[in-house]
Amino acid sequence: MAEKRRIYTVSELTRKIKVFLEGSFAQVWVEGEISNFKHHTSGHMYFSLKDESSVLNAVLFKNVNKDFKFELKDGIQVICFGRIGLYEPRGQYQLYVTKIEPKGIGALQLAFEQLKERLAKEGLFDEKRKQPVPYLPRTIGIVTSPTGAAIRDILHVLNRRFANLEIILNPVRVQGEGAAAEIARAIEEFNQFGKIDVLIVGRGGGSLEDLWAFNEEIVARAIFKSRIPVISAVGHEIDYTIADFVADLRAPTPSAAAELVIVHKQELIDKLEDFYYRATNAIVNQIAFLEDRLSRLKERYAFKQPSDLIQQYQQTIDNLCSNLDSQLKHLLEILQQKNIALSGKLQALSPLNILSRGYSITLCLPEEKAITDTQSLKAGTKVKTRIAQGEFISEVEEII
């Protein structure tokens, strides 16, 4: 009797494999490198996990990936948790990821490094765009928790250094869900208010998770856009956040921020007293110098016998006037001699002098242009003739 064959449809076999896979690998951790990463417009993420010899397709649905702190991209070594399932339309098994973390480094630390690198490339950390903190601010704005240690430390230091400052607190949450949005909004509100000289933004110490609100991009961009200089005062001296890199000035602690934001009042008073003392001494010394100079001037001969000095100057003026008069007479004689010589030369060269010897000058009328040839004459032309004693007009009858 022939053995009866069991023939499956593609769908039946696929479904059996799906049940087997999902039953056998309902919870699994998989390590690999992300490749072919794609963030779909639907919000879902598709990528492959690969090692030296194999590739596993993976999917991370929108409802799972929305709370991720770090950015997924090709080349990152990760550890994924999820279940193996089979995508029936393609008969393709894949990993449905529900949890993912970077290998060898915490998720928050990786997110910090990624955001720091991206904002640095955009220029948010450039020193050239940082604003100077005013030397003597009249009004200080503070963005922090109203109940934390930070606000107490800041107020204590400010009251000790400069008791009569105007301080405005915009209270916010400094950790937990929504804290970053509150901090960013408080910074924007202070800028809209416009009567603040400098801002202190911060909180006390804590873990990386506790300080995470100050590593959020929304806070970094709010600080970057602030027209008011911002001092970042987050955590302890060893703690660094994204806000520290963007801020105009970083303080290692909230107390240090209060010391940096305003000079100690007594120091200022001491400086003013020193300036007053130095200015007073300078004026006194100048007066003494001028008095001594005046005394020495009074001892000079000119001030003891002023009439003698005036008489000497008068005599000098008389001598100068006499010399000037002699020199002017001599100069006039020289000019007269030159004038006589020039007159003789002019007389010798004068055409009138030639006329006295019997010559005449004939001019063509009406232009009275001297006639030197007959080319410009014709019968009937009137001419004027000048002789030594007088002139007469005649008319040309014939040109020969």
DSSP 85-153: EEETTTTEEEEEEEEEEESSS-HHHHHHHHHHHHHHHHTTT-GGGPPPPPSS-SEEEEEE-SSSHHHHH
User: CA–CA separation, 228 vs 250, rounded Å?
Assistant: 15
Three-state DSSP class for 14? helix
Query: Per-residue pLDDT for 266 more than 80?
Result: no
Rama region for 80: left / alpha / beta (φ>0; ψ in -120 to 50; rest)? beta
Q: What is the pLDDT of residue 12?
A: 78
Q: How far is CA 322 from CA 149, 319, 327, 332, 334, in A?
A: 98, 5, 9, 16, 19
* Residue 79 φ then ψ, to 5°: -120, 120
Q: What is the pLDDT of residue 28?
A: 84
Highest mean pLDDT among 219-223, 238-242, 315-319, 359-363: 219-223
pLDDT tens profile 46-76: 898 888 888 888 888 888 776 667 778 887 7
Provide the percentage of residues in the chain whose pLDDT is more than 90.
21
End-to-end CA distance of the chain: 168
Q: What is the per-residue DSSP string for 299-312?
A: TSHHHHSHHHHHHH
Q: What is the pTM assigned to this prediction?
A: 0.51
pLDDT band at 352 (very low <50, low <70, confident <90, very high): low
Query: Per-residue pLDDT for 2 more than 60?
Result: no
Identity of the amino acid at 355: L
Torsion of CA 261, 266, 267, 269, to 10 degrees: 110
pLDDT band at 14 (very low <50, low <70, confident <90, very high): confident
The candidate with the shortest Cα–Cα distance to 214, out of 295, 116, 287, 94, is: 116
Domain ranges of the chain: 10-104, 135-263, 302-332, 354-395
User: CA–CA separation, 131 vs 6, rounded Å?
Assistant: 80
Query: Per-residue pLDDT for 131 more than 90?
Result: yes
Q: How far is CA 390 from CA 1, 50, 372, 393, in A?
A: 174, 133, 20, 11
Segment 92-118 shows an average pLDDT of 79
User: CA–CA separation, 190 vs 127, rounded Å?
Assistant: 23
Q: What is the pLDDT of residue 104?
A: 63
Q: What is the pLDDT of residue 220?
A: 94
Third-level CATH fold of 10-104: OB fold (Dihydrolipoamide Acetyltransferase, E2P) (2.40.50)
Segment 267-295 shows an average pLDDT of 84
Query: Per-residue pLDDT for 107 more than 70?
Result: no
DSSP structural state of residue 157: H
Sign of the Cα pseudo-torsion (293, 296, 300, 302, in order):
positive
Q: What is the pLDDT of residue 384?
A: 87
The candidate with the shortest Cα–Cα distance to 211, out of 249, 179, 247, is: 179
Q: Which two tokens stand for residue 48?
A: 């492959």
* Max intra-chain CA distance, the chain: 176
Angle at 158 between CA 152 and CA 163, to 5 degrees: 120
Q: What is the per-residue DSSP string for 216-264?
A: SHHHHHHHHH-SS-EEEEESSTT---HHHHHSSEE-SSHHHHHHHHS--
pLDDT tens profile 140-197: 999 999 998 899 999 888 888 877 789 999 999 998 889 999 999 999 999 999 889 9
Instruction: Enter the CATH code of domain 135-263.
Output: 3.40.50.10550
